[in-house]
Amino acid sequence: MEYRRPAAEATIEQVVLGSRFVARASRAEDVPSVRDQLKTIQEALPGAHHHAYAFRVGYGASVVEGKSDAGEPKGTAGQPILSFIRGSDLGDLLVVVSRYFGGRKLGTGGLVRAYGGAAREVIESLQWEWRVEKTQLSLSVPYPFLSRVRHLMQAYDIQEVASQYQADALLVVAIATKERHHFQNAITELSAGLIAIQATD
Average pLDDT over residues 158-173: 94
Residues making up the chain, counted from first to last: 201
**What is the CATH architecture assignment of 3-130?**
2-Layer Sandwich (3.30)
pLDDT in tens, 88-120: 999 999 999 999 998 889 999 999 999 999 999
The runs of H, that is alpha helices, within the chain are 31-44, 78-87, 107-124, 146-155, 180-191
pLDDT in tens, 127-150: 999 888 888 999 999 999 999 999
End-to-end CA separation in angstroms for the chain: 16
Q: Which CATH number fits domain 133-199: 3.10.105.10, 3.30.70.100, 3.30.70.240, 3.40.50.150?
A: 3.30.70.240
- Equal CATH topology for 3-130 and 133-199: no
Q: What is the pTM (predicted TM-score) of this model?
A: 0.77
Cα angle for residues 32, 33, 39 (degrees, 5° grid): 95
The residue extents of the domains of the chain are: 3-130, 133-199
Cα four-point dihedral sign 35, 87, 23, 116: negative
Q: Can you tell me the distance from the alpha carbon of 188 to that of 197, in angstroms, rounded to the nearest whole number? A: 9
* pLDDT, position 57: 96
DSSP class of residue 61?
Answer: T
